[in-house]
C-alpha cells in the first residue's frame, strides 16, 4: 500500500565482480600474458631436459615445476587484477616492506648457490629471491609518495622516494646485484620523470649512476669481468655469450627444427637467462619476433590506457610497472644478442624460476588492475577539487 502511494524506490543494481572485471580488463594484455607463459613451457620442454639429466632428475622435472609455479603466478595475477587502486597501493606498500625485510636478512640467512652473489633464501623445497618481489612494491610505494607530494601541503614525497631508492640500491649492490639495482634506478627515474622531475635532476642522477658504475668496476671483480667480456671485440665461443650468439646465428629465420638445437646441451642457464637463444636456434627469428610482439602489446596497450587516467597515483604506478616489465625483457634479450653486458635477469613468464614467474604475476596483476576502465569523472570536477 505504501508503495502504491509514494512509489517504490528502485534498488541499486550491483554488477557481479567477475562480469565487471571481464568488461573492464585489458583483454589484449591478458591474452598476451597467457601466450608468453605457453611459449615458456614449450621452450622449457627443450631447454631444461639436458640440465635435468645432468642432475640425475626426471627429464621434465623443471618443466613440471615451472608449470606449478606458473599456475600460482597466473592465479595471483588474476586475483590482484580484480583489486581497486586503493588495495593495490596497500598491497604494494606491505609487499615492499616484507621484501625489504627479507633482503636485509640475506647476509645472515641467504645463499648464492655457487653463483657468487647472495640473492636467494633457500627453503629446502624451493628458493626465494626477495629482489624479484621488491620491484613491484617499490614502484607502487614510489608512485604513492610522488602522488602525495602533488597535493596541497602534501609530504615531501619526492625526497622520501629518493632516500628509499638510495637504501634499496645500496642493499642490492652489497649482494652484489647491479642489474636489479640499475632496474630500480630506472623505475624510480620513470616515475619521477612522469611526476614532473626537472631535467637537471635527471642528468644528476645519470651522473651518479655513471660514477657508481665506475666504482663497481674498480671494486668488484665479478662486475669487472662481465664488463671486460662485453667490451672485448672477440667472443670466446666457450662462454655462455659465445654459445648463445652462435645459437642465434644458426637458427636463422625458421630455426633448425624442434628438438634439434644444440645450445641447450652447452649452456647451464639455457632454461633461465638464455632461453631466448633456445627459441632463436630451434624456432628461428619468427618465434623471437612473436615474443617481442607479445611484450610490446602488453606495454603499449597499458600505456595507451594510462594516458586516459586522471588519478596521479594510478598513472604513475601503472607507467612505472609497465616500464620495468618492458626493460627487464629488453635486458634479457639484449644480453643474449650481446647488446648489453650479462645481467642475470630472467625473461618474464618465459624463463624458468618460481620467484620470477610469481613476481611477474604480481607485477602484471597490479598493472592490469590499474589499467582497468573505470569512471574518471569530469575534468572540471577534478580541477575544482584540487583548487579547494
Question: 590482484: which residue's cell?
Answer: 80
Q: Residue 10's pLDDT is what?
A: 54
Instruction: Tell me 196's DSSP state.
Output: T
- Cα–Cα distance measured from residue 227 to residue 30, given in angstroms and rounded to the nearest whole number: 37
Q: How many residues does the chain have?
A: 388
Interior angle at CA 291, CA 188 and CA 251, nearest 5: 125
- Listed by start position, the domains of the chain span 25-372
Q: What Cα–Cα distance (Å) separates residue 129 from each residue in 11, 33, 113, 209, 355?
A: 49, 22, 12, 24, 6
Question: 585489458: which residue's cell?
Answer: 26
What's the gap between Cα 206 and its chain centre?
22
Least Cα distance to 355 among 113, 107, 28 occurs for 113
Burial class (CB within 10 angstroms; exposed 0-12, middle 13-18, buried 19+) of 366: buried
Q: Residue 380's pLDDT is what?
A: 44
Q: What Cα–Cα distance (Å) separates residue 195 from each residue in 84, 153, 182?
A: 22, 17, 20
253: CB partners within 8 A, 6+ apart: 284, 285, 286
DSSP letters, 99-135, are HHHHHHTHHHH-B-TTSSS--BEE-SS-EE-HHHHHH
Interior angle at CA 182, CA 181 and CA 186, nearest 5: 120
Q: In sequence order, which ranges of 220-353 are alpha helices (DSSP H)?
A: 221-231, 240-251, 275-307, 312-336
Q: Residue 54's pLDDT is what?
A: 81
Burial class (CB within 10 angstroms; exposed 0-12, middle 13-18, buried 19+) of 369: buried
Interior angle at CA 227, CA 222 and CA 231, nearest 5: 150
- Cα–Cα distance measured from residue 190 to residue 371, given in angstroms and rounded to the nearest whole number: 17
Q: Residue 189 corresponds to which cell in the numbers above?
A: 627515474
CB 263 within 8 A of CB 270: yes
Question: 611459449: which residue's cell?
Answer: 39
- Cα–Cα distance measured from residue 203 to residue 15, given in angstroms and rounded to the nearest whole number: 49
Q: Residue 26's pLDDT is what?
A: 94
Cis before residue 31, ω within 30 degrees of 0? no
pLDDT in tens, the chain (388 residues): 445 554 555 555 566 778 888 999 999 999 999 999 999 999 888 888 777 888 788 878 888 999 999 999 999 999 999 999 999 999 999 999 999 999 998 888 888 776 667 888 888 777 888 989 999 999 999 999 999 888 777 778 888 998 999 999 999 888 878 888 889 999 999 999 888 877 777 777 778 777 777 777 777 666 676 676 666 666 655 677 777 878 888 888 888 887 777 777 777 777 778 888 888 888 989 999 999 999 999 999 999 999 988 899 999 999 999 999 999 999 989 888 888 877 778 899 999 888 899 999 999 999 999 999 877 644 444 444 554 5
Q: For residue 364, give the H/E element and its range.
A: helix 354-370
256: CB partners within 8 A, 6+ apart: 250, 281, 282
Least Cα distance to 146 among 133, 160, 136, 167 occurs for 160
- Alpha-carbon torsion 46, 51, 53, 56, what sign? negative
In sequence order, what are the beta bridge partners of 111? Answer: 120
| 371 SS3 class | coil
| 203 SS3 class | helix
| 266 SS3 class | coil
For the entire predicted model, the pTM comes to: 0.87
What's the gap between Cα 116 and its chain centre?
23
Q: Residue 236's pLDDT is what?
A: 58
370: CB partners within 8 A, 6+ apart: 85, 88, 306, 309, 314, 317, 318, 321
Amino acid at each position: 500500500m505504501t508503495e502504491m502511494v509514494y512509489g517504490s524506490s528502485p534498488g541499486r543494481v550491483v554488477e557481479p565482480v567477475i562480469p565487471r572485471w571481464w568488461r573492464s580488463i585489458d583483454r589484449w594484455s591478458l591474452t598476451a600474458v597467457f601466450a608468453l607463459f605457453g611459449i615458456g613451457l614449450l621452450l622449457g620442454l627443450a631447454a631444461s631436459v639436458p640440465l635435468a639429466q645432468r642432475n640425475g632428475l626426471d627429464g621434465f622435472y623443471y618443466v613440471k615445476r615451472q608449470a606449478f609455479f606458473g599456475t600460482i603466478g597466473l592465479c595471483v595475477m588474476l586475483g590482484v587484477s580484480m583489486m581497486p587502486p586503493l588495495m593495490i597501493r596497500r598491497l604494494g606498500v606491505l609487499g615492499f616492506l616484507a621484501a625489504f625485510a627479507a633482503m636485509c636478512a640475506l647476509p645472515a640467512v641467504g645463499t648464492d648457490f655457487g653463483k657468487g652473489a647472495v640473492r636467494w633464501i633457500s627453503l629446502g623445497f624451493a628458493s626465494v629471491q626477495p629482489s624479484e618481489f621488491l620491484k613491484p612494491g617499490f614502484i607502487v610505494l614510489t608512485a604513492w609518495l610522488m602522488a602525495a607530494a602533488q597535493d596541497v601541503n602534501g609530504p615531501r614525497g619526492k625526497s622520501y622516494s629518493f632516500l628509499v631508492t638510495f637504501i634499496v640500491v645500496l642493499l642490492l649492490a652489497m649482494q652484489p646485484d647491479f642489474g636489479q639495482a640499475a632496474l630500480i634506478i630506472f623505475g624510480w627515474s620513470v616515475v619521477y620523470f612522469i611526476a614532473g622531475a626537472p631535467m637537471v635532476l635527471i642528468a644528476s642522477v645519470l651522473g651518479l649512476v655513471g660514477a657508481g658504475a665506475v666504482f663497481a668496476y674498480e671494486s668488484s671483480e665479478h662486475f669487472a669481468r662481465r664488463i671486460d667480456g662485453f667490451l672485448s671485440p672477440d667472443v670466446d665461443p666457450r662462454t655462455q655469450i659465445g654459445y648463445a650468439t652462435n645459437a642465434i646465428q644458426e637458427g636463422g629465420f625458421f630455426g633448425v627444427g624442434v628438438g634439434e638445437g644444440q645450445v641447450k646441451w652447452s649452456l647451464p642457464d639455457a632454461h633461465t637467462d638464455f632461453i631466448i637463444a633456445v627459441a632463436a636456434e630451434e624456432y628461428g627469428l619468427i618465434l623471437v619476433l612473436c615474443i617481442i610482439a607479445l611484450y610490446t602489446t602488453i606495454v603499449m596497450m597499458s600505456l595507451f590506457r594510462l594516458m586516459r587516467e586522471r588519478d596521479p597515483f594510478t598513472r604513475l604506478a601503472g607507467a612505472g610497472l609497465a616500464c620495468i616489465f618492458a626493460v627487464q625483457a629488453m635486458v634479457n634479450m639484449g644480453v643474449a644478442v650481446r647488446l648489453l653486458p650479462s645481467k642475470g635477469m630472467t625473461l618474464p613468464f618465459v624463463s624458468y624460476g618460481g620467484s620470477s614467474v610469481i613476481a611477474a604475476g604480481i607485477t602484471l596483476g597490479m598493472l592490469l588492475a590499474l589499467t582497468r576502465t573505470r569512471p574518471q569523472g569530469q575534468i572540471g570536477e577534478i580541477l575544482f577539487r584540487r583548487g579547494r
